[in-house]
Amino acid sequence: MKIIAVKNYEEMSSTACNLLIEKINQVDYPVLGLATGSTPEGLYQLLIEKFNNNEVSFKNVKSFNLDEYVGLKKDNPNSYYYYMNNNFFHLIDIPDRNINIPNGLAKNLQKECEEYEEKIKQANNIDVQILGIGLNGHIGFNEPGTSFASVTQVVDLNNTTIESNSRFFKSIDEVPRQAISMGISTIMQSKEAILLVTGKNKAEILSKFIKEEPTEDLPASILKNHENLTIIADEDALSKFNND
Ligand code: F6R
């Protein structure tokens, strides 16, 4: 595990952007695992800028998103399909056929999960997985208590996540209670993982993560056993760990 301590959100985003571009330019057909949420927005903006400056192309990139809410239509601004198109995909040259996001509207959600997991395997697993961390230590939507052996599955969101994500919705009642999420073992099979952590509100969980042995109570903690994990964390996120 490598920790890159950076000053702020901008530096976190640019450090991640440089690592990702290096990988995309190194590998012939890169497979990226992508996250949504507030954390990677700056990273996507920078990648778009680099694309516009002809410093990177996504023509040969295949992507797999970590998760999607159950029951939100693609044109719902809170769906992760909408987020990814709006913040990233429609502003770069990634072919539509290379984009994979779990379908939270599938009639048979179980089948959707199995097929998603299979597609990742068929792609020979993810080369670089971008991750954020939830206030409760979740990665993807794998809430505390999720088995480290889990694969892509339908998950129930817990109260911390519902409350935290309600900031994007008109009211907390509108936040879906379920999602499809890549499993923890799926995430662990990625060849490289980059965990982005920013802000004072993540200081507590990041400090726990760094100090504790892997436990299913803190899903992200399994990443300590990942063969190639880089954490890029800003001063605010590291403030508790540095002061303990
Ligand atoms: C998003 C995801 C989540 C977020 C986490 C942090 O696809 O899988 O695990 O990374 O909830 O969210 P933000 O970045 O909004 O703090």
3 state SS of 150: coil
How do beta strands 99-100 and 153-156 pair? unpaired
Q: Whose CA is nearest to atom 9 of ligand 1?
A: 140
SS3 state at 208: helix
Nearest CA to ligand 1 atom 10: 132
Q: Is 140 in the pocket of ligand 1 (CB under 6 A)?
A: yes
- Options 68, 100, 112, 138, the catalytic residue: 138
Catalytic residue among 136, 158, 204, 235, which? 136
How far is 86 from 125, CA to CA, in rounded Å?
26
Q: What is the pTM of this model?
A: 0.97
| Whole-angstrom distance, CA of residue 66 vs CA of residue 26 | 23
CA distance 202 to 191: 25
* E strands in 1-66: 2-6, 31-34, 62-65
Helix (H/G/I), strand (E/B), else coil: 40: coil
Question: What sign for the dihedral angle of Cα 209, 212, 217, 219?
Answer: positive
One digit per residue, the tens of pLDDT, for the chain of length 244 reads 999 999 999 999 999 999 999 999 999 999 999 999 999 999 999 999 999 999 999 999 999 999 999 999 999 999 999 999 999 999 999 999 999 999 999 999 999 999 999 999 999 999 999 999 999 999 999 999 999 999 999 999 999 999 999 999 999 999 999 999 999 999 999 999 999 999 999 999 999 999 999 999 999 999 999 999 999 999 999 999 998 8
